[in-house]
Every structure is written in structure tokens, then in C-alpha cells.
Chains A and B, each alone.
Chain A
Amino acid sequence: MKDIFTDLYNKVLGFFRQTEKVQEEENTKDVACNRLKFVLMQDRTNLSPELMDRMRKELVELLSKYVEMDKEALELGFEQEGSQMALMLSIPVVRAKEEAEIEAILAKEDEEKLAKSSEDDAVSESEDEIADKSDEVDEESSDDEVVSDDNLDVELSSEDDVIEVSDSVIVDTEEDLSSASKVVENKVKEKVKAAK
């Protein structure tokens, strides 16, 4: 008797679950749109998911010096707004840091940098070649992306109890990147022209 009831219960439950699932899956158009937007951003920016992840980690590292934030809830992605592409970063802030706290972290970092550069100097004095190479690497990495400062807005907005830092950065890629990224470049240029 009990078996019959549980069986019936499961069947009824199963029926409702199924209909729910069907309703969720029905809208394949939105699935297509979202997948396309994601893949086109990768195509246009030449940033693979691995690179995006690395960028995200580096940003967390940098920003957490100044604010305490929810690292798991950080959202990073490109968004198309008309012919302009924007890098959107949204971070829920858990707590504002004390001034002294921030200063302490920065002071510590400066010290580390000083120590490192003096070490580097010592090395470069003895081995010039290595220093040259590291300079080259530095140059390359800084050439990869040029961010135009004029268009950078950083704003703090309060949503519910969480303070959110959102920043919109326009990425201007260098010419030596492949043609796919030229799209971004051209689109950005167009927008800048229009703004002028």
C-alpha cells in the first residue's frame, strides 16, 4: 500500500518537474543570443576564457588593496553598447577599509618594491643582458592593450547594502593584433570620433 502511494507521489512530482523543465528549455532563442554574445566577445577581443580568468585574478589582487570585497561575486565581462564595446566590472564591496589599513598595505608594498629594485640593480650590475631582456618583456606587456583614460568612469553606487564598484573601460587594441581585434579598434575609433 505504502509503495503504491510513494509511487503515485513520485509520478505526480515527476510530472510537475517535467513541465517546469520543458518551460525552462523552451526559449532556445535566448540561449542562442547569450551563447553568441559570449563567443563574439571572445572572437573580437582575442581573449580566451583562460586569459579572462587571469585578468580577473589580477584585478582582484589589485583592487583588494583598497577595498574588502566579495571575490567570488566579482563579475567581469565585455558588453556591447551600440557600436561601442565596454569592459564591465562589478564587485560587491563587503567593507570599506580604514585609511590606516590601506596606508599600511601600500607602505609595505613600496618597501617590497624598493627591496626588489635594489636586488635588481645588483643583478643588472653584474649581468646586463638579463636586465635588458626583462625590459623587453615589460615593454611588450604594456603594449598589448592601451586603455584610453578619458573614457574611464569609476563610480561607487549603492545597491541594497552592498556598495558596488563598476567601471567601464574602453579597450583600444594595437594594430599588430589580428584582424578580429581590428573590429574593436575601428568601432572604438568611430565612437570617439562621434563623441568629438
Chain B
Amino acid sequence: MTALVEKEIEEKKETETKSEKEEKGDIMSGRVIVVTSGKGGVGKTTTNANIGTALARAGKKVVMIDTDLGLRNLDLLLGLENRIVYTIVDVVEERCKLKQALVKDKKNPNLCLLAAAQTRDKTAVTEEQLKDICEQLKKEFDFILVDCPAGIEQGFQNAVAGASEAIVVTTPEMSAVRDADRIIGLLEAKEEIKSYKLLVNRVRPSMIATNDMMSVEDVSEILSTPIIGIIPEDAGIITSTNKGEPIVNDDKSLAGQAYSNVARRILGEDVPFLNLDVDTSIKGKVKKFFSGLFGKEK
């Protein structure tokens, strides 16, 4: 009896998904977003892992492609390093099918990873091949996030090849902003890239308050590029990487909240930026001191 009911429910689900598919015109056409920066170490891979996880938590089908051949890390941040059987190079060299190479996330079945090969260099995959992989994945997924290697050489050109949107990750430091400017110049020259936005990572509100760090507004103005996200410096990023679990899964973390807000903005929601202002008044300092004394956070 119960089995029958279950079957019925399953059938209903199927018809529902079918009608949804029909509404969408039967074929899904996902958005391909490349996460890039120019400078290394500003948080491209962290951004990729967190935005991808947040989008998947929002119910979207997401696949992440690590294009940093020879220096892969996205698998570590997602805690999937032990599950990788095939890599993007295996797909390109036809040792396996594309679907076989997709590694499912531990927690979220909506999330997949196409890992980079650790033993090969940037020449193992061409621009055309990556474009082709993106085109195939577009049919199955809502979002394809491409993790770009540092630099402006072939690795960058490959990663950008299949994308139509870009997120440029930078920090409020001179060298990162200068490199971001170079990347923006190269993105502008690419016709395929329809839009690009800036994500300012590792922001320290206390240093901005004392005029010892460029503010997000300064960075946005200098690069004349709109902002899609402001991520505060957070020690939790390191501990979450240690555990192999993106920080967006921690609802209490400020950086995690900031990342999930970025995902909501990508989905078209108008989300205000987190208030990161530090209370520098004496009253605020006293408050902080006392709340610290009694172990109350915030």
C-alpha cells in the first residue's frame, strides 16, 4: 500500500519536473561565470567554493571547473580530494565521459566538481576544448563556475574562453588592485564577456576606519567597476579550509553571510551590503570592552 502511494508521488514529481522543463524550453542554458584575479593568493578558489556552495544551497544545479592545471586546490576546499577519479584532462583526452568525471559534493547533491589534473601543465587543455565542455555542461546545470589560475597567460585565456560573465577578485591592497586593473582590461577586450563585477576580499573594517586601508569605494572608483561583494577578513576561512568545508555552511560566520549574499546578488536579488563599520566612538569601545569581559559576542 505504502509502496503504491510512494510510486504515485514519484510519478507526480516526474510530471512536475517535466512541466517545469517544458516551461524552460526543455533545454537548460546555464550561466558560465569565471572567477579570476590576476594576482595569486587573493582568494579566487575560496570565492569559487563558497559562491558555488551558496548557489547549490539555494537549490540551483552548480558545477565548478578547476582550470588551474598542475596547481589544483578547489578539491581541497570542498573536501573532495579523496573522491577524484577522473580530471578535466581525462575528459579532453577521451579516457572517460564528461559525466563520469563530475565529482558530487558530500552534502549537496546539486553541487559537482570537475577537477584539474595535478600532474599536467596548462597546455594540456585548449581554449576550444574548454569552450566545448562549458557548452555541454550548460545543458545540465544552472551555473558553471570556472576557477581561473593566477596570471594573464594561457591558463587565464583558457578559463575565460567559455565564460560570459566574470567576477574579479581583489583585496584592498595596491598590488592586487593593479593586477585586477590588468585583468579588467583583458576582459573588456573579450567580446564573449558580457558583464564583470568586482569582489573585494579580505576587507579589514578596523583598518579602513583609521584610514590605513583603502575602502571598498576607493577600490571600486579606481577600477571604475561595480561591486558584487565585500568579504571581511575572517580567521574562519582558514579553519573551514582545514576542515574542507566552505564557510557559507556556517550560518554564524560573517564571511559566510557575505558570500551567501554574493550568491543572492548573482541570482538577481537586491541585497544590501553587510554593515562592517567599526564603532570607533569611546562609547562603542567601552561597550566592546564590557561585552568582551562578560563573554558576550557582538
Q: Are A32 and B214 in contact (CB under 8 A)?
A: yes
Q: Are A33 and B214 in contact (CB under 8 A)?
A: yes
In-complex Cβ contact of A29 among B185, B188, B211 (8 A): B211
Q: Which of A92-100, A132-140, A153-161, A175-183 contacts B (4 or more CB under 8 A)?
A: A175-183
Shortest distance between the CB of B217 and any CB in chain A (Å): 11
- Asked if B212 is at the interface (CB within 8 A of a chain A CB), the reply is yes
For residue A82, which residue of chain B has the nearest CB?
A: B224
Q: Are B211 and A26 in contact (CB under 8 A)?
A: yes
- Asked if A10 is at the interface (CB within 8 A of a chain B CB), the reply is no
Given contacts A27-B211, A29-B214, A29-B215, contact A39 B178 (CB under 8 A): yes
Shortest distance between the CB of A172 and any CB in chain B (Å): 15
Query: Chain B binding site: helix, strand, loop or mixed by DSSP?
Result: helix
Contacts of A80 in B (CB 8 A): 222, 224
Q: Are B178 and A186 in contact (CB under 8 A)?
A: no
Q: Are B214 and A179 in contact (CB under 8 A)?
A: no
In-complex Cβ contact of B178 among A33, A36, A183 (8 A): A36
Q: Which of A145-192 contact B (CB under 8 A)?
A: 179-180, 182-183, 186-187
Shortest distance between the CB of B19 and any CB in chain A (Å): 42
Q: Which of B49-105 contact A (CB under 8 A)?
A: none
Cβ proximity bits A32-45 to B, threshold 8 Å, 1 near / 0 not: 11011101100110
Q: Are B182 and A180 in contact (CB under 8 A)?
A: yes
- Asked if A125 is at the interface (CB within 8 A of a chain B CB), the reply is no
- Asked if A28 is at the interface (CB within 8 A of a chain B CB), the reply is yes
Given contacts A32-B174, A182-B185, A183-B185, contact A83 B224 (CB under 8 A): yes
Contacts of A50 in B (CB 8 A): none
In-complex Cβ contact of A28 among B186, B212, B215, B224 (8 A): B212
Interface size on B, residues (CB 8 A): 20
Query: Chain A binding site: helix, strand, loop or mixed by DSSP?
Result: helix
Shortest distance between the CB of B250 and any CB in chain A (Å): 31
Q: Cα distance A183–B177 when bound, in Å?
A: 15
Given contacts A182-B189, A183-B184, contact A29 B218 (CB under 8 A): yes
Q: Cα distance A182–B182 when bound, in Å?
A: 11
- Asked if B150 is at the interface (CB within 8 A of a chain A CB), the reply is no
Q: Are A33 and B211 in contact (CB under 8 A)?
A: no
- Asked if A30 is at the interface (CB within 8 A of a chain B CB), the reply is yes
Q: Are B181 and A40 in contact (CB under 8 A)?
A: yes
- Asked if B254 is at the interface (CB within 8 A of a chain A CB), the reply is no
Q: Are B189 and A29 in contact (CB under 8 A)?
A: no
Shortest distance between the CB of A9 and any CB in chain B (Å): 33
Contacts of A183 in B (CB 8 A): 181, 184-185, 188-189
Shortest distance between the CB of B220 and any CB in chain A (Å): 12
- Asked if B133 is at the interface (CB within 8 A of a chain A CB), the reply is no
- Asked if B237 is at the interface (CB within 8 A of a chain A CB), the reply is no
Given contacts A29-B213, A80-B224, contact A43 B189 (CB under 8 A): no
Shortest distance between the CB of B241 and any CB in chain A (Å): 28
Q: Are A180 and B185 in contact (CB under 8 A)?
A: yes
Contacts of B212 in A (CB 8 A): 26-29
In-complex Cβ contact of A186 among B177, B188, B208 (8 A): B188
Shortest distance between the CB of B20 and any CB in chain A (Å): 38
* A residues with CB within 8 A of B: 26-30, 32-33, 35-37, 39-40, 43-44, 80, 82-83, 179-180, 182-183, 186-187
* B residues with CB within 8 A of A: 174, 177-178, 181-182, 184-186, 188-189, 208, 210-215, 218, 222, 224
Interchain Cβ contacts under 8 Å between A and B, 27 examples: A26-B210, A26-B211, A26-B212, A27-B212, A29-B208, A29-B211, A29-B218, A33-B214, A33-B222, A36-B177, A36-B178, A36-B214, A40-B178, A40-B181, A43-B178, A43-B181, A43-B182, A82-B224, A179-B186, A180-B182, A180-B185, A182-B189, A183-B184, A183-B185, A186-B188, A186-B189, A187-B188
| Given A29-B213, A33-B214, 6 new contacts (CB under 8 A) | A36-B177, A36-B214, A82-B224, A179-B189, A183-B188, A186-B189
